[in-house]
Amino acid sequence: MQRTLFNEDHAAFRESAKAFVERTITPNIEKFIEQRVIDRDVWLEAGRQGLLGLEIPEEYGGSGANDYRFNTVFAEELCRVNAAVASSLGIHGDVVAPYLVDLCTESQKQRWLPGMCTGEIKTGIAMTEPSGGSDLAALKTNAVRDGDDWILNGSKTFITNGYTADMIVVAARTDPSKGARGITLFAVENGMPGFERGRKLDKVGQHPSDTAELFFSDVRLSQEHVIGEEGQGFIYMMERLPQERIGGAISNLAHAQGVFEETLEYVKERKAFGQAIGKFQHNKFLLAELRTKLDVSQAFIDTLTMQHVRGELSPVEAAQAKYWSADIENEVIDACVQLHGGYGYMTEYRVARAWMDARVTKIWAGSNEIMKELIGRDLGL
């Protein structure tokens, strides 16, 4: 399908992103899967190539692109090799960076943004708690004042980049009497007394992306570690979730597109009963259906991406993009596993790993059920 949202600058950037992926990610993906983490060298090389600061102004070392289509291109190229690498780098550049650029003081920006651009400071964001899931307003991690400082206690789980991040944005309750309006964001840095990490969590998929539990026991934080205004954390998160969700949708479709293309080549070569398995009518019709669903979904996501570029994407539209793309991704990749037969169940095949990687997209960034709840409320139900 011909896409219309990109121009010559995006095409040139895609070639650079593709070269980075082919040189740095593709030859090492098996190692990253085995060790359950992406080497820091990858982050540093991405920094040298200007790929980590797409959301960060030039005065702090970023590219200051101010055009989410560049983020889109980078995510698509990463997802065509491995979805977990895209999620790890995406949390850093797509999700955390806007919080710091929009909300931090000048001294805070000087402290963290240059290192984020070079890859010397790796970041994550800690919203989810063991008992909370998608219910961000119910979080129990708390911070109480002690003079001019804050004392942070609690725990977070399922935190992408959590095992190796140098700085993590943490949502904590600072005024229990105010409900959702009593939440504040803090920056917790590696090495702070009382900040500990659990083991790398043993996930079904997304293995190159390190994920961990985080524990905070009387972590002392100065006012310099408060991000934005006290009590505004929930609002800040709600304002920025649409970008996280459209970013997820972009990655979901790119992941499915890559696996579909590989499967199409496979069914042209794999023979059974004297002919290529793609020639069987059932398989031919199935692939025709999948191709059409991918193209229709791509047109939808591209339209919403352009709305986001213009600052017009609504939370409900982002929820639609997130849930729909996750469903299509899983439908397409599951069908591709079936078309590979027994080989599709072998983890040395990309399609099997992609199948495992895709399942979580129905859960994270707000479960698909929560997305439908948001859409239903918008319908007046």
Dist CA 338 CA 278 (whole Å): 12
Q: Catalytic one among 244, 269, 289, 373?
A: 244
Buried b (16+ CB within 10 A) or exposed e, 204-221: ebbbbbbbbbbbbeebeb
DSSP E strands in 11-134: the ranges are 123-126
Is 262 an active-site residue? no
Residue type, 370: I
Instruction: Please list, in sequence order, all residues whose beta carbon lies within 8 angstroms of the beta carbon of residue 85, skipping any fewer than 6 positions away.
Output: 25, 29, 32, 38, 42, 78, 208, 209
Contacts 24+ apart (CB under 8 A), 374-379: 374/315, 374/316, 374/319, 375/316, 375/319, 375/320, 375/323, 378/316
Residue type, 187: A
Active site residues: 244
